[in-house]
Amino acid sequence: MLLRATSHLLDGWTGEAAISTRHPASTHGRPVLIIDGEPVGPIKADWAGYEVLHATAVELELLHRGDYHFDLMVS
């Protein structure tokens, strides 16, 4: 998926991300966002103000199940 950070502290970062239930940071099958190989929890993701620029339907469902609440800019 493609994300963009709206937080001015991240200087307009745009990049690839993944969401997985197979990462060690995923507990009890709960999906976790992975950016640059590092897990990013829902609180940190909210702080960054990520927007979804592109994602599959499966990725969007996993974001929802992982309690991530991003603005969807483009499907």
pLDDT tens, position by position, 15-70: 999 999 999 999 899 999 999 999 999 999 999 999 999 999 999 999 999 999 98
Q: Where are the domains positioned within the chain?
A: 2-72
Sign of CA dihedral 39, 45, 57, 4: negative
Percent of all residues in the chain with a pLDDT value above 90, rounded to a whole number? 80
What pLDDT shows up at residue 23? 93
**Secondary structure of residue 62 in the 3-state scheme:** helix
Single-letter amino acid code for the residue at 19 = I
DSSP-derived letter for residue 70 is -
Single pTM value for the model: 0.89
Residue ranges of alpha helices (H) inside 1-75 are 42-48, 57-65
